[in-house]
Amino acid sequence: MKALSLLVAAAPIALATPVTAQDHSMHNMPGMTMPAKPAAKPQAKPTAKPRPPARTKAKPAPKKPSPAPAAAADPHAGHTMPGMTMPDAPTQADPHAGHVMPDSAAVATPANPHAGHDMSGMAGGMSHDMGTGGTALPPGNAPAPAAPKPNYADRVYSPQEMADARAILRGEHGGSTFWQVNFNLAEVQIRDGRDSFRWDGEAWFGGDINRLTVKTEGEGEFGRSVDDAEVQALYSRAIGPYFNLQAGIRYDFKPNPSRTYATLGFEGLAPYWFDVEGALFLSDKGDVLGRLEGYYDQRITQRLVLQPRAELNFAAQDVPENGIGSGLSDIELGLRLRYEIKREFAPYIGVSYDRRLGDSARFARADGEGVGGPSFVVGVRTWF
Amino acid sequence: MTRTIDRRQLLRGATLAGGGLALSAYMPAWAQTTSGGIVKPMPTVSGDDITLRVAHQMMMIDGRESHAIGINGTAPAPLIRLREGQNARLTLTNALPDEQTSIHWHGLILPFQMDGVPGISFPGVEPGKSFTYEFPVKQAGTYWYHSHSGLQEQMGHYGPLVIDPAGEAPIASDREHVIMLSDHSQLHPHVIFRKLKMQGGYFNYQKQTLAGLLRGEGQSAKERADWGKMRMDPTDVADVTGSTYTYLVNGHGPLDNWTGLFRPGERVRLRVINASAMTTFNVRIPGLKMTVVACDGLNVRPVTFDEFQIGVAETYDVIVTPTDDRAYTLVGESVDRSGMARATLAPREGMAAAVPPLRKRPLASMKDMGMGGMDMSGGSMAGMDHAAMGHAMPATGAATGAMAGMNQGGAPQAGAAVDHAAMGHTMPAEGAAASGMAGMDHGAMQGGAGGQMAGMDHGAGGMNHSMRDFSNAPGVKKTPTVQTISPMPMDRMGEPGQGLENVGHKVLVYRDLMAVDRNPDVRAPDRAMQIHLTGNMERYMWAFDGEKLSEVKDPIPFLEGERVRVTLVNDTMMGHPIHLHGHFFELVTGHGEFAPRKHTVMVQPGGTATFDLTADAVGDWAFHCHMLYHMHAGMMQVVTVRPRGGDAA
């Protein structure tokens, strides 16, 4: 503690020394390779004044000679020059305060960007301030002890109270559960004469790894019954930093007849920031369907976001009673521009193009239904 | 010089403070909008028997009232002023209706059962109950205290703690001010945490945009694609930002303009405390040089600079000597430059100086992703970013220094041969370079290991395959918490912190710090270990070594008296202030027996920080990231220190 006041007292004396010997406000001299240049020391100090006795008291020189291995491990053990800092100098404007002296003159090379600063005067003053012990020493390789139970407080406080507190501690630090409801699509689709509605959302409850996820999507025309409506109830498990594996049940209320499927899928964030999901569905009739869905949020400004989106539905076979044809049965492409009034609440406008393909289109025509087309959409993307 | 306290000056200060009282009735005296400087004694919050009552209250910031949790009717909590050598007796009464509370004395050396962490050091304090902390005060300096229960800290349950030295003050000053920086949101902390869980980038309104690209801002399209491929956002500098935070000085917003008085020519000691929940600040006082005299409470040798970065929970004591009869603005800029804390130092009340505009927000670099040695395009050593390195090196030295950084991934085998911190400097000979290369242990680098740095000149995309290579971090569990693993983390303790590489003036770095007193334990470490800081911004999960506290099986064990070299490896793109309770540790920054001793260390993005710890305090101790929501998400562990020879519990 006293060292500093002594330093303070020493400041005026030290101030009298030439600038070259003083400008050490940055203590470390990383670039120096002193041990290799003992010859530099003797003539290094001529400009520096003799140190006030207080200094030596403040920083005792290391008592033991530096062991060779330590020196090898840390070639810079002698390089710091604390004693030369002039904290209290009233005229303290240190012209080199911003310069870490990278390099002793001894090892100056053309690459040295600070070559203009003559550091040679410092070499001698630096050699013994830091000592060669402590953090300069390399570590040994003792084994780590076995981990005990972290219950030392049980000897001071009620073990039962501590057990309860530990349970709370662990639960609160990484074990919390959350829930979210999220509708990526909730919109009106305006097209030739027949306006319809469309939704696509999901909700989840759980922790970081295990979650119960409920998904729903569907569409319908205003004034008619809902055309398509499905709900999935899934167990979702994080299988990596970005992706969840999801398995459960899908139930289609519409179209008639309703169907139940076993579901296995994934959902996550793909490279280039694509939000993707995909699933296979096995119906109670043995039919196999598949789905791929993805979107990308292109931020135009901090709040204006353009979202291209695609959804593809596949089938392994024709399911005529539900109007599903084998192969790529339908596609849905969208481009939506939203404004995030809040992250959670973003009205949007856009265009959507949906189309039944192959046998699906044939089934639709046979039923007197359209096979799809473009529409203008207005909606709100929301989560809470 | 001796410490001079001018009584009339103090009285005048007190009078000025009184003028602001009507507006700031909730503020403790030391934090009044105009403060004459803290003085002792502070009757309400010092002495041998202190009572602290934790309760809900309101607080006023920039004219807006918000809900807070305070102590003795003030939020932030009152200054506690103790004296080295006294026995502290502090009785905490929990007047919250329905939740536990606690106080942790940040940075204090005390018996573990007084450390105040529910579930580790004691059971916590139930509503309506009291708990008395009693411990001998064995140190002096600038510290702080805060709740360790839930997220109460974000709501105002924090305050400064200053301990005067037993003997003569070793640091002379004519006057001193506490400068406690913090962050405040109108949102309840649970709401903030939930939003982060829903969407990690929720509060980031400084993302890269198409409009920005067209204006030529930020990264090029190619770089954006490369980073997008890795699902990394270079604008992800702070999780919670100025979009919801108001940054405070002593509990006051920028409009409140807390003012500390001085007389021209005085040496003014600023006790700067970062009591934020989440905010790393870059602090400067345009027009004034600062000289650090203490860090984390302990005295360091003076270093003068223009700006310094302060991680959450760190403290820096700096001396300024304003000579002009004018006001100065103290700026605490959030690391992501989304807002600032602002205060004024002035000779008289009511003065103000220009407030500099926010600087451009930094973008994370390859180095921030843990590709420390890769930051040299063209393969030429001369192209190395000397400024960012914090220390320039001669040509061959640069190669070896960079290699040293790479080495750290495989530190266990390299550790015995070479001191990492020292390697961060320079190795003189080509032979050293060769040894550095030998220690290199990265699948990704095999191609470049022939000794040609040019081999490392990959674009970001080229590195994609190695961004989550667990062979670079053998101790890390393969969990969804681990989004990335730094392929080549380098020691960044010689660097000034994110966004401060090229600010055009001197910025303090850890390597500048050097203890005044010889370190109490100068033995070589018995062993070395690594702890990885891991996270997943997409899921907002944070952990040590890939396991959240809710998942870990075992604590981190130490034996009493054991000395261990701990290297913290940041596998994330965000700086983490890591705090160990109950101990000071010595930073391994090339200062031998005069290493700076700290209780909290910032580990820069994608980099490493190394310290030597003497585990001398038997008991169980918390060890965590001091970013509140990181800790809450799981970035916490228990450190056990047990007597040798095992006295069974």
Beta carbons within 10 angstroms of residue B476's beta carbon = 22
Phi, psi of B448 (to 5 degrees): -95, 0
Q: Is B586 on the interface with A (CB under 8 A)?
A: yes
**Does the pLDDT of residue B581 top 90, yes or no?**
yes
**Does the pLDDT of residue A92 top 50, yes or no?**
no
Beta strand pairing status for B597-598 and B600-603?
unpaired
**Stretch 529-548 of chain B: residues touching chain A, C-beta under 8 Å:** 529, 536, 538-539, 541, 543, 548
| Between residues A254 and B483, the one the model is more confident about | B483
Cα(first)–Cα(last) distance of chain B, in Å? 52
**Stretch 365-384 of chain A: residues touching chain B, C-beta under 8 Å:** 383
Q: Do domains B7-174 and B367-642 have the same CATH topology?
A: yes
What local confidence, expressed as pLDDT, does residue A223 receive?
Answer: 85
- Tell if the pTM clears 0.90, that is, is over it: no
Confidence of residue B363 (pLDDT cuts 50, 70, 90): very high
Confidence of residue B28 (pLDDT cuts 50, 70, 90): low
Q: Match domain B7-174 to its CATH number in 1.10.8.50, 3.50.50.60, 3.40.50.11540, 2.60.40.420.
A: 2.60.40.420
When the pLDDT of each residue in chain B is averaged and rounded to a whole number, the result is 83
Domain boundaries defined on chain A: 2-136, 180-383
| Between residues A73 and B253, the one the model is more confident about | B253
**Residue of chain A whose Cα is closest to the Cα of B638:** A150
Confidence of residue B350 (pLDDT cuts 50, 70, 90): confident
Q: Is B647 on the interface with A (CB under 8 A)?
A: no
Instruction: Look up tokens 């699933």; give the residue.
Output: A279
Confidence of residue B53 (pLDDT cuts 50, 70, 90): very high
Of B648, B578, B646, nearest in space to B613 by CA: B578
Give yes or no for a contact between B642 and B619, defined as CB atoms under 8 angstroms apart. Answer: no
What local confidence, expressed as pLDDT, does residue B490 receive?
Answer: 94
Distance CA B199, CA B377 (A): 34
Q: Where are the beta strands (DSSP E) in B137-255?
A: 141-146, 158-164, 175-185, 245-249
Confidence of residue B30 (pLDDT cuts 50, 70, 90): low
H or E segment and range at residue B625: strand B619-625
**Residue of chain B whose Cα is closest to the Cα of A107:** B394
State CA A9 to chain mean position distance. 49
| Fold (topology level) of A180-383 | Porin (2.40.160)
Q: Do A273 and B228 touch (CB under 8 A)?
A: yes
Beta strand pairing status for B175-185 and B268-274?
parallel
Q: Do B304 and A25 touch (CB under 8 A)?
A: yes
What local confidence, expressed as pLDDT, does residue A17 receive?
Answer: 38
**Stretch 161-180 of chain A: residues touching chain B, C-beta under 8 Å:** 161-162, 164-176, 178, 180
What local confidence, expressed as pLDDT, does residue A23 receive?
Answer: 38
- Supply the ipTM of this predicted assembly: 0.82
Q: Do B170 and A3 touch (CB under 8 A)?
A: yes
Give the tens place of pLDDT for each residue, A220-256.
Answer: 988 888 889 999 999 999 999 999 999 999 999 988 8
Q: Do A62 and B521 touch (CB under 8 A)?
A: no
Q: Considering CB atoms only, which of B395, B538, B620 is closest to A109?
A: B395
Percent of all residues in chain B with a pLDDT value above 90, rounded to a whole number:
73
Question: What mean pLDDT do residues A110-133 have?
Answer: 44
Distance CA B300, CA B449 (A): 40
Question: What mean pLDDT do residues A42-47 have?
Answer: 39
Give the tens place of pLDDT for each residue, B443-469.
Answer: 333 333 333 333 333 344 444 447 899
Q: Where does residue B360 rank: exposed (0-12), middle (13-18), buried (19+ CB within 10 A)?
A: exposed
What local confidence, expressed as pLDDT, does residue B110 receive?
Answer: 98
What local confidence, expressed as pLDDT, does residue A95 receive?
Answer: 36
Which residues neighbour A193 within 8 Å (Cβ) at sequence distance 6 or greater?
none
Q: Is A37 on the interface with B (CB under 8 A)?
A: no
Confidence of residue B32 (pLDDT cuts 50, 70, 90): low
Confidence of residue B169 (pLDDT cuts 50, 70, 90): confident
Joined tokens for residue B156: 């105002």
Give the tens place of pLDDT for each residue, B203-215.
Answer: 999 999 999 999 9
Beta carbons within 10 angstroms of residue A317's beta carbon = 15
Confidence of residue A315 (pLDDT cuts 50, 70, 90): very high
What local confidence, expressed as pLDDT, does residue A193 receive?
Answer: 74
Degrees to nearest 5, angle at CA B314 with B584 and B272 = 125
Confidence of residue B26 (pLDDT cuts 50, 70, 90): low
Tell me if residue A232 falls in helix, strand or coil.
strand
Which residues on chain B are in Cβ contact (under 8 Å) with A345? none
| Fold (topology level) of B367-642 | Immunoglobulin-like (2.60.40)
Distance (Å) of CA A363 to CA A26, A197, A286, A291, A319: 80, 22, 20, 19, 10
Give the tens place of pLDDT for each residue, B606-632.
Answer: 999 999 999 999 999 999 999 999 999
Distance CA A293, CA A303 (A): 24
Confidence of residue B29 (pLDDT cuts 50, 70, 90): low
Confidence of residue B371 (pLDDT cuts 50, 70, 90): confident
Beta carbons within 10 angstroms of residue B31's beta carbon = 29
Q: Is B477 on the interface with A (CB under 8 A)?
A: no
Give the tens place of pLDDT for each residue, A141-164.
Answer: 999 999 999 999 999 999 999 999
CA B527 to chain A, closest CA, distance in angstroms equals 5
Of A65, A106, A60, A103, nearest in space to A82 by CA: A60
Confidence of residue B170 (pLDDT cuts 50, 70, 90): confident
Which residues neighbour B288 within 8 Å (Cβ) at sequence distance 6 or greater?
B320, B321, B322, B328, B345
**Test mutation, B229, B516, B572, chain A, max A CBs within 10 A:** B516
Least confident interval from A310-324, B382-396, B632-646: B382-396
Helices (H) and strands (E) in chain A, counts: 6, 13
Give yes or no for a contact between A287 and A317, defined as CB atoms under 8 angstroms apart. Answer: yes
What local confidence, expressed as pLDDT, does residue B45 receive?
Answer: 79
**Does the pLDDT of residue B639 top 90, yes or no?**
yes
When the pLDDT of each residue in chain A is averaged and rounded to a whole number, the result is 76
Give the tens place of pLDDT for each residue, B217-258.
Answer: 999 999 999 999 999 999 999 999 999 999 999 999 999 899
What local confidence, expressed as pLDDT, does residue B467 receive?
Answer: 87
Task: Say which amino acid occupies B400.
Answer: T
Beta carbons within 10 angstroms of residue A276's beta carbon = 17
Q: Is A104 on the interface with B (CB under 8 A)?
A: no
Q: How many CB pairs under 8 A join A and B?
A: 396
Which residues on chain A are in Cβ contact (under 8 Å) with B588? 135
**Does the pLDDT of residue B419 top 50, yes or no?**
no
**Residue of chain A whose Cα is closest to the Cα of B481:** A241
| Between residues A127 and B163, the one the model is more confident about | B163
Joined tokens for residue B75: 């939020």
Beta strand pairing status for B50-61 and B87-94?
parallel
Joined tokens for residue B58: 């309101």
What local confidence, expressed as pLDDT, does residue B379 receive?
Answer: 33
**Per-residue DSSP letters for A137-149?**
SPP--PPPPPP--
What local confidence, expressed as pLDDT, does residue A73 receive?
Answer: 36
**Does the pLDDT of residue A339 top 80, yes or no?**
yes
